[in-house]
């Protein structure tokens, strides 16, 4: 009985010592891996925002054409591109591969700017009634939409792509993925 207890004591002691010796490098490795993931995410975010600088120097028409090109890249068929005077709030009209009509309003603003409630109201006045949108999309280079604009968009199912989401779209995230993430955020109560 005594040798058996002694054997168990040595085995348990050995396991505790092995755990103590090995847990340090394992924990350090996990911390280093987490730090590396965070560093890479930071680099990717910085790159996304750096590339937005090229959008900031575009004219409004160039920005509308860029948005149309993003749609083309993502497999949408362009029906109309380039708004201008008399566009009735539709800078880009395109069809998703599943046939739904997407109507896009583009606003190239300073990053510090915002899209206002009256601008959203104007878009809402024509997006479905005049243009027959299945999907209404408001894209801006500004960092935010005002609370009034956000509330209106939520009530009328307008997808909002502000500067941060635009960074993802501009860097390869397909529009359907952005729309899915927006739906997810909307059901959680955010935009």
Q: Could you give the number of structural domains in the chain? A: 2
DSSP H helices in 57-174: 60-73, 117-127, 147-155, 163-170
pLDDT of residue 189 exceeding 50: no
Which residue range(s) make up the domain with 49?
1-57
Is the Cβ–Cβ distance between 77 and 94 less than 8 Å? yes
Q: Could you tell me the CA-to-CA distances from 148 to 124, 126, 153 in Å, in that order?
A: 13, 18, 9
Same domain, 87 and 27: no
The reported pLDDT for the residue numbered 71 is: 93
- 3-class DSSP assignment, residue 89: coil
Q: For residue 125, what is the domain's CATH number?
A: 3.40.1350.10
Q: What is the pLDDT of residues 84-111, one digit of tens each?
A: 666 677 999 999 999 999 999 999 999 9
Q: What is the pLDDT of residues 5-27, one digit of tens each?
A: 777 778 788 788 877 777 777 77
pLDDT of residue 40 exceeding 70: no
Same domain, 120 and 154: yes
Evaluated on CA atoms 79, 84, 86, 91, the torsion sign reads positive
Average pLDDT over residues 110-121: 95
Same domain, 99 and 47: no
Its pTM stands at 0.71
Average pLDDT over residues 58-87: 86
pLDDT of residue 173 exceeding 80: yes
How many angstroms from the chain centroid is the CA of residue 28? 32
Average pLDDT over residues 121-128: 94
């Amino acid at each position: 009985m005594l040798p058996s207890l002694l054997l168990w004591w040595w085995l348990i002691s050995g396991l505790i010592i092995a755990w103590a010796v090995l847990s340090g490098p394992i924990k350090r490795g996990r911390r280093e891996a987490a730090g590396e993931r965070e560093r890479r995410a930071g680099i990717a975010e910085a790159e996304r925002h750096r590339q937005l600088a090229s959008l900031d120097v575009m004219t409004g028409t160039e920005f509308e054409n860029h948005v149309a090109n993003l749609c083309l890249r993502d497999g949408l068929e362009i029906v109309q591109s380039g708004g201008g005077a008399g566009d009735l709030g539709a800078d880009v009209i395109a069809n998703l591969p599943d046939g739904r009509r997407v109507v896009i309003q583009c606003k190239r603003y300073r990053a510090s700017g915002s899209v206002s409630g009256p601008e959203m109201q104007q878009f809402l006045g024509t997006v479905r009634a005049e243009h027959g949108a299945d999907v209404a999309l408001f894209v801006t280079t500004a960092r935010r939409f005002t609370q009034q604009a956000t509330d209106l968009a939520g009530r009328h199912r307008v997808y909002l792509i502000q500067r941060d989401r635009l960074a993802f779209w501009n860097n390869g995230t397909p529009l359907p993925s952005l729309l899915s993430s927006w739906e997810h955020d909307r059901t959680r109560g955010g935009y």
